[in-house]
Amino acid sequence: MTEAIAYAQTKGVAVIAAAGNETAPLCDVPAWESGALCVAATDRNEVKAWYSNLGTKADLKAVAAPGGAGLVNCDDDVWSSVPVGTGSAACGQRDYDAYAGTSMATP
């Protein structure tokens, strides 16, 4: 992972990675690696989402972005397109679904 991130940086690529969803205090790999920007998740109140790793890492390259609440209400999560017809019946959408996680915050 370290070599891949270093290679990407030599090509001028920004490496952005999800912090992880284990409620840990540190960014998980690959976000922990030097040179990667770690993205933690916040909820609609702009506070750390309950599931998100904190986004702490040695080089301090970490940010937070909306990632959803990961609770009951679909509108508290991040709406995403899904393959046609595979949307969640619980959220009432055919071609979209609501997800939560640091992977939703990273883009």
Residues 39-97 have pLDDT tens digits of 999 999 999 999 999 999 999 999 999 999 988 789 999 999 999 999 988 888 999 99
**Amino acid identity at 34:** S
**Contact assessment for residue 102 and residue 24, using Cβ atoms and an 8 Å cutoff:** no
Give a yes or no: residue 83 inside a domain.
no
Give a yes or no: residue 88 inside a domain.
no
Give a yes or no: residue 89 inside a domain.
no
pLDDT of residue 90: 87
Distance CA 44, CA 60 (A): 24
Give a yes or no: residue 75 inside a domain.
no
Distance CA 35, CA 104 (A): 21
Structure-block tokens of residue 68: 């959803």
When divided into structural domains, the chain yields a total of 1
Distance CA 106, CA 14 (A): 12
Full residue range of the structural domain in which residue 12 is found: 2-69+100-105
Average pLDDT (2-23) is 96
Give a yes or no: residue 76 inside a domain.
no
Give a yes or no: residue 31 inside a domain.
yes
